[in-house]
Amino acid sequence: MSDTYTPPKVWSHDSENGGRFANINRPTAGAREDKALPRGNHPFQLYSLATPNGVKASIMLEELLEAGHSGAEYDAYTINIGEGEQFGSDFVDINPNSKIPALLDLSGDEPVRVFESGAILLHLAQKFGAFLPTGPARAETYSWLFWQIGSAPFIGGGFGHFYAYAPEKFEYPINRYAMETKRLFDVADQRLANSEYLGGADYNIADIAAFPWMAPFVEGKIYEDARTFLSIHEYTNVERWAKRIAQRPGVKRGRIVAKTWGDEDAQLRERHSAADFDGKRL
């Protein structure tokens, strides 16, 4: 470990602070350039990237279409966050927080912007009356939905950053966030020991929110060898749940929307119709 860091009396931004996203990180909000977003002809316009947060929205839209809600047709466009495209003026107009995913709902008389992945899931579930139970189960679903929203920064910005993206590896932050990530997996594992899904007896938006974060650990596809490092195989109920959800057709399609890495036949940089998935490896 390097010499102990003593914080200055007043913090200032160091543009050379290192890390995977150091070239775009700034302590300020707002647009950095005038940039128009493309727009298709469908009721929903999705601007995203196939990160764990990003695919929540595309999975939800594909699940709605799979369930027969034809009004959920959408166009999807890739936002390259590594290149700072989330700071373009049109994108900031939809999401002033400059994070993906961002959704423009054109199905009514006036355009409606929706940002934050949990808000998008709730907006679509309420609009279509789908993947959101009624009665006491609705409160249970809300609880698990916001559990996931609150836990994602510990897994991504915490564990993921210090274990895989930071310019140097330090024991304390890795241990701190590894412990929290394992605790969160244990919370889910204990819940799933007594419930088919996080939200209850039926698959719903709580599962759609949590799956994109937890499944890659189960599959060994996130943060280098995090599956081994965190002994993810211990969470057998989470593994059962994740593998079952991964087989859903809407999930398979949603996971490759706005994907720009890996095998070419498993990428879909733009999505405009179901035909765009033809020939793709799901």
The pair of three-digit structure tokens given for residue 176, joined into one six-digit string: 């701190």
pLDDT value of residue 18: 67
Angle between helices 205-219 and 136-153 (to 10 degrees): 40
The pair of three-digit structure tokens given for residue 75, joined into one six-digit string: 């166009």
Contact 59, 211 (CB under 8 A): yes
pLDDT value of residue 13: 80
Q: What is the DSSP letter of 268?
A: B
Tens place of pLDDT for every residue, the chain, 282 residues? Answer: 557 888 889 988 865 566 777 788 889 999 999 999 999 999 999 999 999 999 999 999 999 999 999 999 999 999 999 999 999 999 999 999 999 999 999 999 999 999 999 999 999 999 999 999 999 999 999 999 999 999 999 999 999 999 999 999 999 999 999 999 999 999 999 999 999 999 899 999 999 999 999 999 999 999 999 999 999 999 999 999 999 999 999 999 999 999 999 999 999 999 999 999 999 999
pLDDT value of residue 200: 93
pLDDT value of residue 46: 98
Domains recognised in the chain with CATH numbers: 44-131+257-277 (3.40.30.10), 136-246 (1.20.1050.10)
For residue 66, how far is the Cα from the chain centroid? 20
Q: What is the DSSP letter of 197?
A: B
The pair of three-digit structure tokens given for residue 81, joined into one six-digit string: 């966050």
Element (H, E) at 78: strand 74-78
22: how many CB neighbours lie within 10 A of its CB? 13
Pairing of strands 44-48, 112-115: unpaired
> How many separate helices (H) and strands (E) can be counted in the chain?
9, 5
Spatial CB neighbours of 51, under 8 Å, sequence gap ≥ 6: 81, 100, 212
